[in-house]
Structure 1
Amino acid sequence: MFPFTIPSEDRKVPLKRRVELAAVFSLAELTRDKGGGLISKKPAEEMLFISELHYPFWFVPWKGRTLLFDGFNLKSHTISFSILPDSNVFIQEMKGSSRKLETYSAFLSHNSNYFEKFSGKSQKLIKGLIMDKDLMSDIFSILPRAKRAKDLSKKVTLPLVMDYSAVKSSIGELQRFEKALENDVKRLSRIAKMLMKTTERHISAVKLEVEKIKRQSDAEVSNLTSKIVKKTEEIRKTYDEKILKVSEETDLKIQTLSGEGAELQAERDRLKTYIEECKSQASMAHKRRDEKQEEYWNRELKASRLRLLQIGKRLKEIEGKIKEINSMLRSEISRFKSEYASEAEKYMAEVKRLEATRDAKIRIRQEAIESLEKLTSRIIRQINGMIEARNLALKEIREMGYPLRKRRITLARMPFFLVCYTRDLKKRYVVFPSSTANTMGGVSKIKSALRPYAVRSMLQEYSVSITNLLNEFVNSIQRNSMLEDRVLKICVKTNVLKKRFFRREVEKGLQELSEEGWLSSEELQTLVSRLNEIAR
């Protein structure tokens, strides 16, 4: 059971029960519309009852934390989640097409975006679950002040909308949802593994096929090459013989020309010496005045010089012919080599054709491997994204609630006072929630100086969130006539104004409030008179 009032830091000591009742009565009376008005005088409101009720909260252990449930089911939590694409359809289609590479590749290509997006949105309603952070924080902050209730059976309480079985049902719903998310993760992981395994199987098969193609091609190329080597060797020998023959013929021609050139060179050397002798003899004859001898040697000199010129011309012709013969030899050898290379290339063209066919087959299979890897990686990346989203949703579910460990499901009730006013057959409800009890110091003194009934500042609502929840409860009463009838019957039974003992306690409490300075003597007298008036 939660306390109704919590002492402030200044007060420290908890309020007595009669002081709480007196404070609530004072505030209820101050809140009552006293009627009047200059133009249309309204009758004063009558206070039908002041009833102490208890708002039920369930504290439920959850993953080392505690979930908070609304016993009146005014609060519920809706979990939004994304719907996975139909994995069963994907699995069946994959199984049906995974045997052959062609059908499996077509399947991957067709479903490359299958897991790119979720197929839709959905929601899961967990009845009674409170996830309002402020409300949870405020309730758990005063939980340590709650005490074990001795005997609730004697207290008249509002019936639970969320009883133990309903709470267990909501927990079961949450657990089933968690399990469904876990199964989604397992199913997606299994699909990813199946994809990887199937793709690896096909890739291994393709790689084996590539190795087989290489072995077959290497054998064919080797066999053909050995035949080509024999044929090209025969051709090479033929062309070597041709080259040898033309080389020998050329060498013979060059030798003949070189021999002639050598003889002419020797003759030229002799002529040069003879010319010098002719010059000398002609000079000597001239000195002797031997005209016949001088004429003879001059004729010899002229003839020798003419012959020397003829020899020089012939030597140049021989040198040119040798160069021409060598050039023709080189050209002929080059032609033979080119013809040989052309003949050999014809035989090697078949080898190149086999190699090109092999490379084309291997390239097709390598492209198939790359396509398999790319498509599989794309789909698995999408699946991992969905797994990550599911794991995030699981994390959020497992971290729901408040970071406080409880061992068992516990029902706790928070007291509040419900006051009902009537006027012209109309009812008005006001709630007084759990509050902090202040002292006559600080802000309270200032407020008391500004207006009468300083008691207004004594009780300060502990939590806006809790007050809003209680007001929501009142709104639900006013919207539901059947619920209002049930609440009214209970409140009439628990009306403290009609219990003599409580009236005496309230009167004592009013006196203590006055002694503490919250009420003036006139205010005290007015409230006591009003209490006695209501009691009659």
Structure 2
Amino acid sequence: MVKNMSQQTTKLFLPFAIPAEDRSKAFTRDMEMAAVFYLAEAERGKGGGRILKKTAEELIFIAEACYPVWLVPWNGRTLTLDGLNATSHTLSYDVLPDINAFDNDIQRSAETREAYSAALSNNADYFQSFAGKEEKTIESLIANPDFIRDLVSYLPEAEKIEKPVANMAFLSSTMDESAISTIIEELSNFRAKLREEIDSLGKSMNLLSTTTKQQVRIIHEEIREIEKKFDEEIEKVRPKVMESVHEIQRRCDVEITRASKKFELQLRRLHKDSVKLEKKHERLNAEIDRYEAGIKSCRLRKDEGGELTWRQKLKISKKELQTLQKSIRDMNKKIEDAETAKKLDISNLRLNYDAKVEEAMRDLRELEASREARIRMKQQEIKSLEDTTPHIIDQMNEMMKLKKAALKELDEIGAPETRRKYALVYLPLYIACYETEQKKRYIVYPPSVVGSIGILTKLKGVFRATKMKSFLQPRSKAVTTFLSQLVALIQENPVFEKEISDAGIQVSILRTKGSRELVKKGLEELKEEKWISESELQTFSKLL
């Protein structure tokens, strides 16, 4: 806050022109005034025109003026304020959803988990987007980084104003102590609001995370209670159930043993009969072999009667073999059927007793299923809480990042230097006023760098005014743009225009004979450096 402007304010004056680095020759104020006069006269409307007759303009004044710019310390930096209040800076502001309403909902619903889960679900996208966008316009604040950078580089050349400066029009600042205090207060309040919102988001994120962790911890405790309760009930039921199961299994084993023995007896008889058939099969095969050998022997001996006898026996044996082979196949089928029946009977017994075991285990199974179901529901609650909470926190974190970026942008407004006192810096310029019967016209010449004559500049000689513009080169595009708004201010405000006109005429470099002589002297110096020709010197000197 500004306590005493007169005591805390340092007034600084900047030079209009400085020599370029490659300029070795001396540069005088007379040359400066002469160059501005040359350019202003070149810009003057000379009238004429074959079809549309134009009225010649009269050059009313050329005055050196000073534009007030405030340097104000704030937040470890230096703000740049437009002393004529022609500039403003608009701060864009993202409006947060109502954090207090969200926090109250979380705190209120935390009393019951059902309400808390519902609150999380309802607010899952609460911070998905901002509630809107607002703008805050700070009058007089200059935020153009190019202007600030160039002004800071300009300041080392400033001189402290200890006494009134003659022959210059110092434009009065429209800003007073109250206006600067208001700007500082607006910026400070805006920064405090951003900081508060960042803190509120952080606290809300912490509240949400902490509350969810508490709910999850409670659920884990409930799971342990469920496990403990059901484990106790299961342990009470288990001995009786297992006793029943063991009895059922014992009866099952007895039934299976009985059935197995029954089938084993049957299978033993069948296998015994099968062995007999196999033995008989072997004997028949041996007899057939013997009969075939007898046939061969009789044939060799040509014993037809003996051969016939053997053939009859062979025929009978083969027929008997066919019958026996069928009996063997039938026997194998009976054995296979018996074994299948045994397996099926035992399987049915097991299925029957398994059903009885399950029936005996039903109460135990019910308790185990109930325990698992309740635990699973609790785990689903945990998953829902742990999924929804980070989702909301991620949204809040994104908003916090944007708010921090906005705070960083605000903190980087102004020059990166610390000042203890306010400073009122006067930016120098020349302003030329032209007049016809219809209107007045103004041109501003910004702070410049004085160039040196070179080959390229000499080649520009045919363009005259272009050549002179190489002599006075605007030192900063940003400063030039800033000062050019002075013309619009004059044209829009008749009272201000009168003040400028009165002051401009009073300090015009063309007002007195003495000042005009200085301009002539400057023209001669420009001619000596070959910035203007002899004929130009004569022409412009006659105008003075």
Following superposition, the deviation at residue 160 of structure 1 comes to: 0.7
User: What displacement does 1:335 show?
Assistant: 6.2
Residue ranges of structure 2 left out of the alignment (5+ in a row) = 1-12, 277-327
Pairing of 1:68-217 with structure 2 (within 5 A): 68-152=80-164, 156-163=169-176, 165-217=178-230
2:527 is the alignment partner of 1:514: yes
3-state DSSP of counterpart to 2:452: coil
What is the alpha-carbon distance in structure 2 between the residues aligned to residue 34 and residue 254 of structure 1? 139
| Structure 1 match to 2:480 | 467
Change over 3 Å in CA distance of 1:164–1:51 after alignment to 2: farther
Structure 2 residue 430 is the aligned partner of structure 1 residue 417:
yes
Correspondence list, 1:264-283, <5 A? none
> Following superposition of structure 1 onto structure 2, how do residues 92-491 of structure 1 map, counting pairs within 5 Å?
92-152=104-164, 156-163=169-176, 165-236=178-249, 339-449=352-462, 451=464, 455=468, 457-491=470-504
Corresponding residue of 2:323 = none
Which letter maps to 1:460?
Q
Does 2:38 match 1:26?
yes
Residue 16 of structure 2 corresponds to: 4
Report the Cα offset of residue 519 of structure 1.
3.4
Distance of 1:432 and 1:70 partners within structure 2: 18
1:121 positional shift: 1.0
Please give the alpha-carbon distance, in whole angstroms, between the structure 2 residues aligned to 1:357 and 1:38.
107
CA contact (8 A) 1:5 1:15 kept: no
Moved more, 426-435 or 22-31: 22-31
Give the distance between the partners of 1:502 and 1:391, measured in 2 at CA.
57
Q: Is the 8 A contact 1:112 1:378 kept in 2?
A: yes
Change (3 A) 1:522 1:351: same
What is the CA–CA distance in structure 2 between the aligned matches of 1:213 and 1:449, rounded to whole Å? 101
- The one-character-per-residue Cα deviations of 1:408-441 (angstroms, maximum 9, x if unpaired) are 4322111111111111152111112212212232
Provide the C-alpha distance between the structure 2 equivalents of 1:186 and 1:501, rounded to a whole number of angstroms.
Answer: 67
Mean Cα deviation higher: 365-374 or 323-332? 323-332
Q: CA separation of 1:250/1:400 partners in 2, compared to 1, >3 Å: closer, same or farther?
A: closer
Displacement of 1:203 = 1.0
Task: Name the Cα RMSD after superposition.
Answer: 3.6
Taking the aligned partners of 1:475 and 1:331, their CA distance within structure 2 comes to 109
State the distance in 2 between where 1:192 and 1:234 align. Answer: 61
* Counterpart check, 1:56 vs 2:75: no
Secondary structure of the residue that 1:439 maps to in structure 2? coil
Gaps of 5+ in 1: 265-315, 532-536
Q: Aligned partner of 2:123: which letter?
A: N
SS of the aligned residue for 1:509 comes to: helix
| Aligned partner of residue 90 in structure 1, secondary structure | helix
For 2:223, the aligned partner's letter is: V
What SS does the corresponding residue of 2:133 show, helix, strand or coil? Answer: strand
For 2:159, what is the secondary structure of its paired residue? coil
Looking at structure 2, the residues matched to 251 and 26 of structure 1 have their Cα atoms a distance apart, in angstroms, of 135
Provide closer, same or farther for how the CA distance between residues 180 and 325 of structure 1 changes in structure 2, counting only shifts above 3 A. Answer: closer
1:497 and 2:513 equivalent? no
How far does residue 181 in structure 1 lie from its aligned partner after superposition?
A: 0.9
Give 3-state SS (helix, strand or coil) of 1:60's partner.
strand
Contact 1:65–1:403 (8 Å) recurs in 2: yes
Offset at 1:185? 0.8
Task: Give the C-alpha shift of residue 149 in structure 1.
Answer: 2.6
Deviations 1:168-220 (A, max 9, x none): 43233222212111111111111111111111111111111111111111111
CA distance in 1, matches of 2:251, 2:76: 96
Shift of 1:126: 1.9
Give the AA of the match of 2:138.
I
Deviations 1:98-137 (A, max 9, x none): 2101111111111111000111111121222222343334
Identity, in percent, stands at 37
Q: One-letter code of the match for 1:519? A: I
Going from structure 1 to structure 2, the CA distance change for 1:171 and 1:324 (only over 3 Å counts) comes to closer
Q: Deviations over 1:246-286 (max 9, x none)?
A: 8899999999x9xx99xx9xxxxxxxxxxxxxxxxxxxxxx
Report if aligned partners of 1:453, 1:523 keep a CA contact under 8 Å in 2.
no
Q: What is the SS of the residue equivalent to 2:79?
A: strand
CA distance in 2, matches of 1:501, 1:35: 29
Contact kept? 2:460, 2:466, Cα under 8 Å: no
Q: Which AA in structure 1 matches 2:228?
A: R
CA-CA distance at 1:229 after TM superposition: 2.2
Cα distance change on mapping 1:365 and 1:12 into 2, 3 Å: farther
Cα gap change, 1:350/1:110 in structure 2, threshold over 3 Å: closer, same or farther?
A: same
Counterpart code for 1:18: D
Distance 1:368 1:328, change over 3 A: closer
1:329 & 1:526 partners in 2: Cα distance?
A: 138
Measure the CA separation in 1 of the matches of 2:333 and 2:536. 149
Corresponding residue of 2:301: none
Identify if the C-alpha distance between structure 1 residues 503 and 248 changes in structure 2 by more than 3 Å, giving closer, same or farther. Answer: closer
Q: TM-score, normalised by structure 2?
A: 0.77
SS at match of 1:113: coil
2:324 is aligned to none
SS in 2 for 1:428: strand
Contact 2:66 2:169 in 1 (8 A): no
Q: 1:12 to 1:142 in 2, by over 3 A?
A: farther
What amino acid sits opposite 1:178 in the alignment? R
What secondary structure is seen at the aligned counterpart in 1 of 2:56? coil
Q: 1:528 to 1:347 in 2, by over 3 A?
A: same
- 1:493 positional shift: 2.6
State the alpha-carbon separation in 1 of the partners of residues 464 and 339 from structure 2: 135
> Which residue identity lines up with residue 380 of structure 2 in the other structure?
E
The offset of 1:243, in angstroms, is 6.8
Tell me if the contact between 2:63 and 2:169 (Cα under 8 Å) persists in the aligned partners. Answer: no
SS at match of 2:15: coil
The answer as to whether partners of 2:433 and 2:441 remain within 8 angstroms in 1 is yes
Three-state SS of the structure 1 residue aligned to 2:403 is helix
Aligned partner of residue 531 in structure 2, secondary structure: coil
- 1:6 deviation in Å? 1.8
Q: Which one-letter code corresponds to 1:397 in the other structure?
A: L
Distance 1:84 1:467 in 2: 39
For 1:528 and 1:325, the matched residues in 2 are separated by: 142
SS for the counterpart of 1:467 is helix
Please state how far the C-alpha of 1:226 moved relative to its aligned partner: 0.8
Code of the aligned partner of 1:514: K
Query: In the alignment, residue 429 of structure 2 is paired with which amino acid?
Result: F
